[in-house]
Amino acid sequence: MSLEDEIQTALKGGEVVLGFRKSIKFIKLNSPKIIVIANNIPKEMGNEIEYNAKISKTKVEVFKGSSKELGVICGKPFPITTLVIKG
């Protein structure tokens, strides 16, 4: 299953946390299945995601498209830099 398919399946099931701040909070409090970041995420944000992913021992996937494209995949009219698929 491709990353896009996995995101859309998780969205249908309500198993996704969208947005950087909500994702960081979820990662710190829970154990996510996968963390997805856009390829154009700002460096500081990417570093914070990587750090928290390392602590929670969670895999980080880099979406091949931009944050705008990730927003379109999620059916949102705005860019999404980070999303978490709940475990």
**% residues pLDDT > 70 (the chain):** 100
Phi, psi at residue 44, to the nearest 5°? -60, -40
Amino acid at 22: K
**Residue 34, domain extent:** 3-82
Which distant-in-sequence residues (6+ apart) come within 8 Å of 61 by Cβ? 3, 34, 35, 36, 37
| Average predicted confidence (pLDDT) for the chain | 94
23 in a domain, yes or no? Answer: yes
Number of domains present in the structure of the chain:
1
Query: Which of 3, 29, 34 is closest to 16 using CA atoms?
Result: 34
For residue 70, pLDDT over 90 is answered with yes
74 in a domain, yes or no? Answer: yes
pLDDT digits (tens, 9 = 90+) for 21-57: 999 999 999 989 999 999 999 999 999 999 999 999 9
87 in a domain, yes or no? Answer: no
Residues 1-17 have a mean pLDDT of 92
Domain containing 60 — which CATH number?
Answer: 3.30.1330.30
Helix (H) or strand (E) holding 1, with range, is: none
Predicted TM-score of the model (pTM): 0.93
72 in a domain, yes or no? Answer: yes
Strands of the sheet containing 16-18, edge to edge, are 16-18, 82-86, 32-38, 59-63
